[in-house]
Chain A
Amino acid sequence: MLSFILIIIAGLFFSGIISRTKSIASGRKGPGIFQPLKDVVRLFKKGAIYSETTSFIFQIAPTIYFASIIMAMLIVPFGQSKGIISFNGDFVFFAYVLALGKFFNIISAMDTGSSFEGMGASREALYSMLAEPAFFILMGSFSLLTGHTSFQEIFAALHLGSTISYALATLATFVLVMVAMIENSRMPIDDPKTHLELTMIHEVMILDNSGFDLGLILTAGYLKFAVYGALIVNLFIGIVGYQYSIPLFFAIQFSMAVTIGLVESFMARFRMNHNAQFILVLSSVSFLIFFVVMLILGKFI
């Protein structure tokens, strides 16, 4: 329950902090930290335009996408307090629920019959597929290290053994940040501020969404960031008390947002055809974690 509330709070600020960082880094005055929220509220108040081509799939897809994020939020734990839903192997459920949201997002882009939106849909499907093994190998390795198979038990037991686990957590942070970037289609995979439809991934998929639906999709994006941020926080807090872990939560979420802002300010996006290689590199980082876990457990003899 705690993590659910914390993720919502973090989600409220996350996108604002990213854009604030970007504006400061580029020397602009920039919008306030609440601008993304105001945008969403404005969208919620608006009417909507639907393409004549679309069917009911286009109408229900944003709802299901948003519901999938809410469901994923329910699974994420916070330190010693479990998520609202917690069972052995819950991280598999987590990944597959997010996949359901993605499925509907992709087909809703196909539903418009546009010559561009399918392009984004194709890329989204491909890149998130390539990122999948990184997450699974990572969680599999941690499950091997701790002997547990649910998010909360894995994270609680992660640092009980040795301090090397903090090094692992750092590596895992890299993987999770990158997975978050891929899932949210941010730099260096995708540039949300690009102005050419041919080079977009996520943005081009939602070209035809408007009003409440667009608001839902944007909110889901903000929350998704906070969900991955919360997973990263969990890598570090272990079982420390709430008086430390809650400030730590916000500190880590804040620094993740700032990092993303800085990356987007100072880095160019990758060439589209290099993305696949880059994403597969994440899996090899995950394998590195797996081998370190095997070393720690003394399986190589």
Chain B
Amino acid sequence: MFLINLFVAFLVVIASIIPFLKPKGVGIIVFISIILGSALSGYFAVNSLIGSQIEFIFSGSQVTGPIPIRIDALSAWFIMIINFIFLTGGFYGIFYMKAYREQKSNIQLHGISFVLLYFALIGLCVVQNSIVFLILWEIMSISSMLLVIFDHNNPITFKAGINYLVQMHICVILLTIGFIWVYFQKGSFDFNAIPIFFAGNANIGLFLIFFIGFGFKAGFIPFHSWLPLAHPAGPSHVSGIMSGVMVKIGIFGIIRIASYLKSDLILLGEIVVTVSVLTGLFGILNAAVHRDFKRMLAYCTIENIGIIGIGIGIGMMGMGNGSPLLYYLGFGGALLHVLNHALFKSLLFYSAGSIYQQTHTRNIERLGGLIKFMPKTAIIFLIGAIAIGGIPPFNGFVSEFVIYSGLLEGMKSNSVSQLSLLILSFAGLSIIGGLSILTFTKTFGTIFLGNQREKLEHPPKEVSFSMLLPQYLIIAAMLSVAFFPKMYLNLVSNLLYKMSAPHLGFEPFGFNSYSTIASNISLFSAVFIGIAVIIWGLRYFVMRNKIQISQQTWGCGYVVPNTKMQYTAKSFSKPLGKILNFLLIEKKQFEEIKPGEIFPSKRNYVSNYFDFFEHRFISNITKRLVYTVNYFKFIQNGMIQSYVIYGIVFIVVIFVITALSIIK
């Protein structure tokens, strides 16, 4: 109790001293505060992961009622992930922001928002009072928005920030509706009222409201459209943190609510699986065609949210079918993938940040051959790319394998609809895997391999060790998941056992055999590496005395190639874009040569891909909305006199209706 008070007091102190610091000190103070914060929250989290749930109840105020702080294993899992990513992100951020030190107040605001975001995220994991939860949610949204618009002088960045803020408020409205619904039925803001609500009322409505509300944050389609705008706009460490952990708070909420469900689980599970498969496919398809590498990574986050969602859906179907193994495989795969994705996505964003810092462009068509200038960043990015494709020997495969196993296990069901859905998800997941190979070979190949496509103003060089260090730490964590999966799967199975204990009481019997398989897989991955090393040794042995010549790339007879002739990212993904042109909307801008134009002048050709949902639905809705709202523009006319009148009218109306006791 005392520690938590200390925690909050500490936060206030930090936030209030940052404005008096020099830009150089801001980063260090922020980092130190995150170290202290994660030491404290980590202490509770480890205790609750190993032992039992930790609970404190604050008396709260009249409005909120008592405020329970419950650190159960699920919160602990997310707290640990948040801590790790914030520690690496905070450290990376200190050095990434070095170039912006002259913007003093901007840096200070950035630092305050960073700390606030961290504490809000930790708070969201542990607070189980609806009102405080919503307040924290709001702090999270606003602070992250402030982080995104660091470069607020750029209108695109600012617009992305506003777009994000608006969408997050739609999300808050839905969550508020959900919590108020529970409050009016059960008279309590405590989360414990939700399972009681579910026991007595229909489950579908409330769950779907929460699913959409949290889905906005997580980025399920069609509520994803803020991600590809906000992620490229923010500085890279912010994108890494937002993509790595902040969107996972949405997942956290969905899992939390799903664990309270009592009935209709199969139907809801099917809905979640369907939405998730579509989310995964949509995300990776867009990632495959986009050429802004941070936007590509943002779409890739949407894909991974889809994969996590498939796990959650299977887990819910397991709860509904009364199949413990399915519950463990589904939620277990989802939770492990949350960890894995947090690791490799932040890794990719940090290395993308290193590229951006050195080249000042996010357009991969302008890059190329960076492996020669930034070999370490290249290897880091390559490891991230292989891991995110779910390819062994890295950690992505472990969680995807658990989810695949869940899908196979789910096929023991008897219902045709479930079977068809599962086989489709099975195929969908395999397409997602195939597409992510296409996406990341394209991205890695274009950025790092071949020749430089354009001469950059400053020749790129490897980033400093301080920026590489957090990335090495993340790789170490990734390898620990890949090669010691049993430890993590045991943690997850304990967590799920505790989560199911109050309502379902599922035992993790069958799941242990899967964690054995997972550790066998890591053994086989080691065997694979061994085979590769042996072949490499053989190659070295055979080639040692042979002639090895360096020559120009074979140009099929053409002898004066230039770097512009290299295959581009656009052409790499063009065949895919062509097949799916109904989903991947391509807009071209160019001026055709007129019939009489004998000496054509210089022309530009621009081609961009647009988001299907944003382009076809959301923009249409907002257009209509703006059209309607235009009629009420006279209200906001900029004259103080009218605003005073509005105030007076409002007060009079309130007075009259209370006097006539229309409202009490």
Q: Do A and B interact?
A: yes
The interface residues of chain B, by DSSP majority, are classed as helix
* A106 engages B437 (CB within 8 Å): yes
Does residue B96 face the partner (Cβ distance < 8 Å to A)?
A: no
Bound state CA distance, A141 and B411, in angstroms? 9
Are A51 and B392 in contact (CB-based, < 8 A)?
no
Q: Is B335 an interface residue (CB 8 A)?
A: no
Q: Are B575 and A126 in contact (CB under 8 A)?
A: yes
Asked if B327 CB lies within 8 Å of chain A CBs, one says: no
Are B445 and A111 touching (Cβ within 8 A)?
yes
A283 on the interface (CB 8 Å rule)?
A: yes
Describe A's contact surface by its main secondary structure: helix
Look across to chain A and name the residue whose beta carbon is closest to the beta carbon of B528.
A71
Task: Say whether A240 faces chain B, with CB atoms less than 8 Å apart.
Answer: no
Say whether A115 contacts B566, CB under 8 Å: yes
Tell me which residues from 354 to 395 in chain B have a Cβ below 8 Å from any Cβ of chain A: 368-369, 371-372, 375, 378, 382, 386, 389-392
A 258-301 to B, binary, CB cutoff 8 A, 1 in contact else 0: 00000000000000010010000001000000100010000110
User: Count of A-B contacts with CB under 8 A?
Assistant: 247
Interface residues of A in 108-156 (CB under 8 A from B): 109-119, 121-123, 125-126, 128-130, 132-133, 135-137, 140-141, 143-144, 147, 149
Q: Give the CA-CA distance A118 to B569 in the complex, in Å.
A: 9
Min CB gap A278→B, angstroms? 12
The interface on chain A, measured as residues whose beta carbon lies within 8 A of the other chain's beta carbons, has a size of 80
The docked-state distance in angstroms from the alpha carbon of A299 to that of B413 is 10
- What chain A residues lie within 8 Å of B514 (beta carbons)? 88
CB distance from B560 to the nearest CB of A (A): 12
Q: Which of B404, B445, B565 has the most CB of A within 10 A?
A: B445
> Which of B75-83, B139-147, B543-551, B586-594 lies on the face that meets chain A?
B543-551
Q: Which residues of A have CB within 8 Å of B531? A: 67, 70-71
A95 close to chain B: CB less than 8 A: yes
CB distance A114 to B566 under 8 Å? Answer: yes
Instruction: Let me know if B535 and A55 touch, CB within 8 A.
Output: no
**How distant is the Cα of A135 from the Cα of B408 in the complex, in angstroms?**
14
Is the Cβ of B430 less than 8 Å from the Cβ of A93? Answer: no
- Interface window among A25-33, A42-50, A221-229, A244-252: A42-50
Question: Contact: B542 with A113, CB < 8 Å?
Answer: no
A57 part of interface (Cβ distance < 8 Å): yes
Cα distance A21–B422 in the bound complex, in angstroms: 42
Q: A87-B520, A93-B392, A110-B567 are in contact. Are A47 and B546 (CB under 8 A)?
A: yes
Pairwise interchain contact A63-B404, C-beta atoms closer than 8 A: no
Is B532's CB within 8 Å of the partner chain A? yes
B window 545-570: CB within 8 A of A? 546-556, 561, 563, 565-568
Give the CA-CA distance A140 to B405 in the complex, in Å: 11
Which of B451, B513, B553: most chain A CB closer than 10 A?
A: B553
Q: Is A37 an interface residue (CB 8 A)?
A: no
B585 at the interface (CB under 8 A from A): no
Which residue of the partner chain, among B397, B414, B431, contacts A133 with CB atoms under 8 Å? B431
Contact B539 A63, beta carbon cutoff 8 Å: yes
Tell whether A34 is near chain B: CB-to-CB under 8 Å: no
Residues of A within 8 A of B450 (CB): 53, 110-113
- Least CB separation from B407: chain A residue: A140
- Report Cα–Cα, A299/B433, bound state, in Å: 29
| Closest A residue, CB atoms, query B545 | A47
Evaluate contact between A96 and B566: CB separation under 8 angstroms. Answer: no
Tell me the smallest distance from the CB of A210 to a CB of chain B, in Å: 9
Tell whether B423 is near chain A: CB-to-CB under 8 Å: yes
The answer to whether residues A67 and B532 also contact, given A87-B520, A114-B554 and a CB cut-off of 8 A, is yes
* Nearest A residue to B549, CB-CB: A49
* Chain A residues within 8 Å of B548, by CB: 47-50
Closest residue on chain B to residue A70 by CB atoms: B531
A71 and B527 contact, CB distance less than 8 A: yes
Q: Which residues of B contact A109 (CB under 8 A)?
A: 445
Interface status of B197 (Cβ within 8 A of chain A): no
Q: Which of A44, A54, A63, A283 contacts B532 (CB 8 A)?
A: A63
Best-buried of A89, A113, A123 by chain B (most CB within 10 Å): A113
In the complex, what residues of B have CB within 8 A of residue A66's CB? 535
User: Are the C-beta atoms of B535 and A114 separated by less than 8 Å?
Assistant: no
Report Cα–Cα, A137/B445, bound state, in Å.
30
Whether B416 contacts A107 by the Cβ 8 Å rule is no
Interfacial residues of chain A within 58-96, with CB under 8 A of chain B in the complex: 60, 63-64, 66-68, 70-71, 74, 85, 87-89, 92-93, 95-96
Residue B419 interfacial (CB < 8 Å): yes
Q: Given known contacts A52-B551, A99-B389, A114-B566, is B404 in contact with A129 (CB within 8 Å)?
A: no
* B609 sits at the interface (CB 8 A): no
Residues of B within 8 A of A67 (CB): 528, 531-532, 535
Task: List chain A positions with a Cβ less than 8 A from chain B.
Answer: 44, 46-55, 57, 60, 63-64, 66-68, 70-71, 74, 85, 87-89, 92-93, 95-97, 99-100, 102-103, 106-107, 109-119, 121-123, 125-126, 128-130, 132-133, 135-137, 140-141, 143-144, 147, 149, 197, 207-208, 211-213, 216, 273, 276, 283, 290, 294, 299-300
6 contacts between A and B (CB under 8 A): A53-B553, A70-B531, A107-B441, A125-B441, A125-B572, A143-B408
Name B's A-contacting residues (CB within 8 A).
368-369, 371-372, 375, 378, 382, 386, 389-392, 397, 400-401, 404-405, 407-408, 411-412, 414, 416, 419, 422-423, 426-431, 433-435, 437-438, 440-442, 444-446, 449-451, 513-514, 517, 520-521, 524, 527-528, 531-532, 535-536, 539, 542-543, 546-556, 561, 563, 565-568, 571-576, 578-579
